[in-house]
Amino acid sequence: MKPRLATAVLLGSLCLPALAQFSTPEAAIKYRQGAFSVMAAHFSRVAMMAQGIQPYDAKAASENAELVGNLSRLPFTAFGPGTDKGTSHRAKDEVWKESAKFKAASDKMVADASKLEAAAKSGDFEALKAAVSTLGRSCKSCHDDFRGARRE
């Protein structure tokens, strides 16, 4: 399967539960966990290049950053009512108690992921490094406020 087709299939399969409005809280939780996991895998590929751990490859950075940008918009539909229970997860109660703050944090992360995508497409390595740092801080901030120990 060609990389672009595989990406389209993956993104399409991740979107299907969102379109169905999630049949159960467990389905929503698994969806958001899957989206975050795939996004983190692609972000780490770009981050390793930005940090000099892996050689910089402009094409690979751009492809992975594009996926991060697309994936960043997916998980937040799966934090609806009732998805604080149902299966093991790490979301803190603050996600639902401080929903405006969580929304602002998620919007910032999506915007920062878009900036990463633009920086990677520009081919400017210094811009890429700065965008990786910005998105990394955005992710850390949200984890600090809204992600805790695994809960059942």
pTM of this structure: 0.84
15: pLDDT strictly greater than 50 = no
State residue 18's pLDDT score: 47
Q: Which of 107, 109, 133 is nearest to 119 (CA)?
A: 133
State residue 17's pLDDT score: 40
Residues in contact with 42: Cβ distance below 8 Å, sequence separation at least 6, in sequence order: 64, 65, 67, 68, 71
pLDDT tier, 59 (very low <50, low <70, confident <90, very high otherwise): very high
89 is in an annotated binding site: no
For 107, the domain range is 3-72+85-151
What is the mean pLDDT of the segment spanning 61-84?
95
pLDDT tier, 16 (very low <50, low <70, confident <90, very high otherwise): very low
What are the tokens at 38?
Answer: 């795939």
What phi and psi, each to the nearest 5 degrees, are found at residue 96? -95, -30
Q: How far apart are CA 119 and CA 93, in angstroms?
A: 34
What is the mean pLDDT of the segment spanning 101-115?
97
pLDDT, the chain, mean = 89
Residue 68 located in a structural domain: yes
42 is in an annotated binding site: no
Total number of domains in the chain: 1
State residue 8's pLDDT score: 47
State the CATH number of the domain containing residue 116.
1.20.120.10
What are the tokens at 21?
Answer: 């409005």
Q: What is the longest distance spanned by two Cα atoms in the chain?
A: 44
State residue 19's pLDDT score: 41
What phi and psi, each to the nearest 5 degrees, are found at residue 20? -85, 0
Residue 129 located in a structural domain: yes
Residues in contact with 87: Cβ distance below 8 Å, sequence separation at least 6, in sequence order: 25, 26, 29, 30
